[in-house]
Structure 1
Amino acid sequence: MTENEKKSGLNIRIAEKEDVSLILDFIKGIAEFEKLSHMVTATEETLLESMFGERPYAEVFFAEMDGVPAGFTVFFHNFSTFVGKQGFYIEDIYVKPEFRGKGIGKAMFLHCVKLAKERNCGRMEWTVLDWNPAREFYEYFGAGPVEGWHIYRMTEDKFESALEK
């Protein structure tokens, strides 16, 4: 934690099993912000297994302002064959509306940068919806869209038909 974070009452902490309902609340909050609430199928049970089970697939940390959960970040490691080392993928960074403009998003983003550096990651990646004003925030730090690449996604309801082809 930096001196500024201490002065501002900001604390970043790793999520624990007991936080699974809070994690789900934040997921619902970001889904509402992105106008994608209809796509949330996560439950406390699926999150508990996926984040705190025998083989955790993602990690979470919270930003708290004076002890109140104000934001969260979900991330996991991927791998780059070209770089030959693990990468750091940010799935979500979200700050509740009433806490925006207080440096919380910046603190969470820079915490990701710090973790990626400490873990010797070759790169850090994330996606941003084209209408999201956070794009300017990320560009301020030197990030930018990857030219010539498009994100493709296959959802689990398509797995079976793909295997039949």
Structure 2
Amino acid sequence: MTAYSFRPAGPDDAQTIFDLIQKLSEYLGQIEKLTACPDDFKEVGKGPHPLFQALLAEDQGEAVGLCLYFNSFSSLRGKKGVYVQDLFVTEAARGSGLGRSLLAHVAKEAASEGATYLRLSVDVENITAQKAYERIGLSAATDEQIRKIDGLAFEQLAALADEI
């Protein structure tokens, strides 16, 4: 088994993060949804309250895994948590347990900062990831459903504030 090294990403890793996000969107067959650019990831870990953090897994200096996440808060629990936005392992490293290791490292760091839970969403067609998450212990939520609004609909909703 390969011994991966793990490290927090910084602003200098923006291109690497982007490259892994691009590979993730290709893997999911959703490359047309990718509108980010490398500069968008230069905010990683910046300031006392970063928008997001990222953990990179490397094999002999080459990035082979990414976990991009941010802090969250549960009003029902009254507790801090962590939300994993993106988890990706390159094809060569799949099946090695690297995804689980990335999640474990993020969970450990979050727990050390007072977090009590981890959440993520998974593409409905990514059955392989769903099964892997189940093996790790992440159960599918049956009591809630993710909703989204973006693009023009988001802009229209925001404009409603001026009319109300």
TM-score, structure 2 normalization: 0.87
Q: How does 1:147-162 map to 2 (within 5 A)?
A: 147-162=142-157
> For residues 81-100 of structure 1, what are the structure 2 equivalents within 5 Å?
81-100=75-94
Letter in 2 for 1:101: G
Matched, 1:69 2:69: no
Report matched runs for 1:1-165 at 5 Å. 8-48=2-42, 50-54=43-47, 56-132=50-126, 133-162=128-157, 163-164=159-160
2:72, 2:83 → 1: CA distance? 6
Give the distance between the partners of 1:84 and 1:28, measured in 2 at CA.
35
Detail structure 1 runs of 4+ shifted over 3 Å in the superposition: 52-55
Contact 2:4-2:57 at 8 Å conserved across structures: yes
| Structure 1 residues 109 and 53: alpha-carbon distance in aligned structure 2, compared to 1, 3 A threshold | closer
**Distance (Å, rounded) in 2 between the aligned partners of 1:107 and 1:45:** 27
Alignment RMSD: 1.8
Unaligned runs of 5+ in 2: none
- Report the TM-score, using the length of structure 1 for normalisation: 0.87
